[in-house]
Structure 1
């Protein structure tokens, strides 16, 4: 294997960022196309930036975030965090006791790794399933988790969503919803209700996913629980700092539902173009994707790489040759290696889909050329 550990994943990400830096410095930002769906942004006026002091910033912007955050997420109170994973960790530290059970229902396995990792830290027993008929809540369960939209944008059925919440509440067990992209994807594209409006006790979203905000997390829910979780957040330094809070505030204010709706229609055009050469691309709500397994199935030459390695090499070819950023090249350890071409990002709006199709095909042709040479593939991913 080329990428065989969390350290390898960190190293390949460092290489990706180095490539991105080189493209910006030598060709300009316009030659980069962030199609991850996680491009985010930092919207701020000069007068707002002047208020980004240690205590002035929170006093001004956290108060303003309460209003727009509750409108965006529902619930009684919101809590800004430095990462969605930080909020998940803080919630589990607060609500889950050692040797208790945490059960998790999602539309498609696996869950985001931050959830089982956090359970392991507190010594809890963790179970996850994507089969609704198999889902149950055993005795000594301290928390039920629901994922609104998976890492690969598989969206939960709303009726199942509500039933899981009802099952938990019948046993007086709190429900946490990992709604990283779902807070927008579910509600805008699939017309589902906000997690808190469905009865979730807490829900958390990523403020850079499908919206022009920073990499951060925003938790919403019952005030009593938010206050308890906030204690842990402050104890462990998991809170969002003033610049991130400001960017969250303006990211939510500038979130445009039409961008998601437009990408929903454009995905069909890109899918049709790619389907002329490939058999295994699938539609997502906002673009197209291909899993590591399906990508490997497209390869017509013999090689010894793992499915994930194939996806990593492909993502780096896309990045280095055409400035196309996909998740596998820049992802954190444990993230899905599925390659998504998300058309909801600002970079995608001005892309000619015929040109994008040709770049994807050209990158795949190069993948086929290099995949038999493991050392060459290693060089592409790690730059050594």
Structure 2
């Protein structure tokens, strides 16, 4: 395997960021097309930036975040965090005891790795399933987790969502919802209620996913639980710093639902174009994707790379040759290697879909040429 450890994933990401920096310095920002759906942003005025002092910033912007955050997420109170994973960790540190059970229902396996990793840290037993008839809550369960929208944008059925929450509350067990992209995807595209409005005790979203906010997490929910979790957040340095809090406020204010709705309609056009050349692309709510297995199945030459390695190599060819940023090239360890072309990002708004399709096809043709040479593939990734 080319990418066989978390360290390899870190090194892979470092190389991708070096390529991005090189492209910007030599060709300018217009040479890049961030189609990850995680492009985020940092919106701030000069007068706001002048207030980003250690204590002045939180005094000003955290209070405003309470207002816009509750409007965006529901619940009684919010906490800004440096990442969604930080909020998941803090929740599990707060609510889950050693030897207890954590059960997780989601539309499609696997869960985000931060959830089982956090359970492992506290010594809890962790179970996950994407088959509703197999979901149960055993004795000794301290937390039920629901994922609103998976890493590959598979959205949970609303009726199943409600039933899981009801099952947990019948046992007086709190429910945490990992709503990283779902806080917008579920509500805007699928017209589902906010997680807290469905009865979730805690919900957390990523403020850079499908919105113009910073890399960070925003947790909402019951005030008593939020206060308990906030203690752990502050004890372990998991809180968002003033610049991120400001950017969260402005990211929520500038979130435009029409962008998601427009990408929902354009995805079918791109899917139609790609389907003329490929068999394994699928639509997502805001674009198209191809799984590592599907990509490997498209290759017509014999090779010895793993399916994930094929996806990593493809993502780097897209980045190096055409400036197209996809998640496998820049992702954190444990993230999905599925390649998504998300049309909700700023870079995608004015993108010619015929041209994008040609670039994807050209990158795939190059992948077919290099995939037989593992050393060359290794050089491309690292």
User: Normalising to structure 2: TM-score of the pair?
Assistant: 1.00
RMSD between superposed Cα atoms in Å: 0.2
The number of aligned residues is 382
Query: Which whole-Å CA distance do the structure 2 matches of 1:354 and 1:27 have between them?
Result: 22
**Aligned twin of 1:167:** 167
Query: Which whole-Å CA distance do the structure 1 matches of 2:171 and 2:12 have between them?
Result: 45
| Alignment map for 1:72-87 (pairs within 5 Å) | 72-87=72-87
Tell me the secondary structure at the aligned position of residue 160 of structure 2.
helix
Query: Which whole-Å CA distance do the structure 2 matches of 1:258 and 1:247 have between them?
Result: 20
Offset at 1:79? 0.3
| Alignment map for 1:166-315 (pairs within 5 Å) | 166-315=166-315
**Aligned twin of 1:23:** 23
Query: Which whole-Å CA distance do the structure 2 matches of 1:168 and 1:279 have between them?
Result: 41
Q: Which runs of 5+ in 1 are unaligned?
A: none
| Alignment map for 1:33-52 (pairs within 5 Å) | 33-52=33-52
Query: Which whole-Å CA distance do the structure 2 matches of 1:42 and 1:166 have between them?
Result: 38
**Aligned twin of 1:106:** 106
Tell me the secondary structure at the aligned position of residue 86 of structure 2.
helix
| Alignment map for 1:128-167 (pairs within 5 Å) | 128-167=128-167
**Aligned twin of 1:333:** 333
Tell me the secondary structure at the aligned position of residue 230 of structure 2.
helix
Tell me the secondary structure at the aligned position of residue 196 of structure 1.
coil
Runs of 4+ residues deviating >4 angstroms: none
Query: Which whole-Å CA distance do the structure 1 matches of 2:349 and 2:19 have between them?
Result: 23
| Alignment map for 1:108-123 (pairs within 5 Å) | 108-123=108-123
User: Normalising to structure 1: TM-score of the pair?
Assistant: 0.99
Query: Which whole-Å CA distance do the structure 2 matches of 1:350 and 1:363 have between them?
Result: 21
Tell me the secondary structure at the aligned position of residue 320 of structure 1.
helix
Q: Which runs of 5+ in 2 are unaligned?
A: none
Query: Which whole-Å CA distance do the structure 2 matches of 1:268 and 1:102 have between them?
Result: 38
Q: Could you give the per-residue CA deviations for residues 283-306 of structure 1, whole angstroms, max 9, x where no partner exists?
A: 000000000000000000000000
Query: Which whole-Å CA distance do the structure 2 matches of 1:373 and 1:140 have between them?
Result: 51
Offset at 1:350? 1.0
